[in-house]
Amino acid sequence: MKYIIYGAIGLFVLYTMLQPTMVDLVIDNPSSQPITVSVDELTVEVPANEVVWVEMGKGERTIRLENASERVFDFQDKAYFLNPTETSYLINEHVYGDLMAQLSYMQAFPDQKVEYLGMELEGRYSVVKGLINPITWDVGAREGMPETIQADEDEDYVVLKKLMDPNEFKTMLMEQLEAEAAEAAGTEEPG
């Protein structure tokens, strides 16, 4: 019996030692001006249109913004997105796989409506706008999406979630409009 108790204590100690004790904090600045953010006593300057990663221990931290506002938050997840400008971001799902797999995914997870930048969008979208957000996406703001993905043998498709800042979203819309205009111009019959 004594050995079972020692074994259980040993497994518990090993389990707690293997638990991650660090948290990644991704601080994004989508604006055209640098910003300063403090996490406890660490002051971080984030250049315009850049992302800065900070690694810190789990636990309660005080976030201070340039406008002198403070927020205390208990960081327990593996990674968080700090949005000091409180900009609205859009998460868009990209499905990789053959056409049948993509259709299967779209049927299983139908489109939903969200409001973003004053527009109603329908698709597999969600909006992020809070100061502190657990990271639920795969590709960050201003990062490019991969052209192809290698799926595991047991997967018919892979879904990656992309976080877009407002400028990326506007650029995407302009590119879609230009592509549609070019397609329409190419299919017009000479009159």
Residues 72-92 pLDDT 10s: 999 999 999 999 999 999 999
**How does strand 22-29 pair with strand 79-82?**
parallel
- Whether the pLDDT of residue 64 is over 80: the answer is yes
With cut-offs at 50, 70 and 90, classify the pLDDT of residue 5. Answer: low
Show me where the domains of the chain are located: 22-82, 89-178
pTM confidence score: 0.80
Q: Average pLDDT, stretch 168-189? A: 86
Tokens 């315009």 correspond to what residue?
Answer: 48
- Dist CA 177 CA 171 (whole Å): 10
Q: Calculate the dihedral angle through the C-alpha atoms of 101, 107, 108, 112, rounding to the nearest 10 degrees.
A: 120
Q: Average pLDDT, stretch 45-69? A: 95
> What does residue 42 show for φ and ψ, rounded to 5 degrees?
-85, 120
- Dist CA 108 CA 159 (whole Å): 13
Check the CA dihedral 29-119-168-122 and report its sign.
positive
* C-beta neighbour count of 34 within 10 angstroms: 13
- Dist CA 24 CA 75 (whole Å): 9
Task: Supply the pLDDT for residue 190.
Answer: 56
The answer to whether the CB of 88 falls within 8 A of the CB of 127 is yes
Task: Supply the pLDDT for residue 84.
Answer: 96
What pLDDT, in 10s, does the model give residues 10-32?
Answer: 555 444 445 568 999 999 999 99
In 65-124, beta strands by DSSP E: 70-75, 79-82, 89-97, 112-116, 119-123
The answer to whether the CB of 128 falls within 8 A of the CB of 81 is yes
Task: Supply the pLDDT for residue 144.
Answer: 92
The answer to whether the CB of 128 falls within 8 A of the CB of 116 is no
With cut-offs at 50, 70 and 90, classify the pLDDT of residue 188. Answer: low
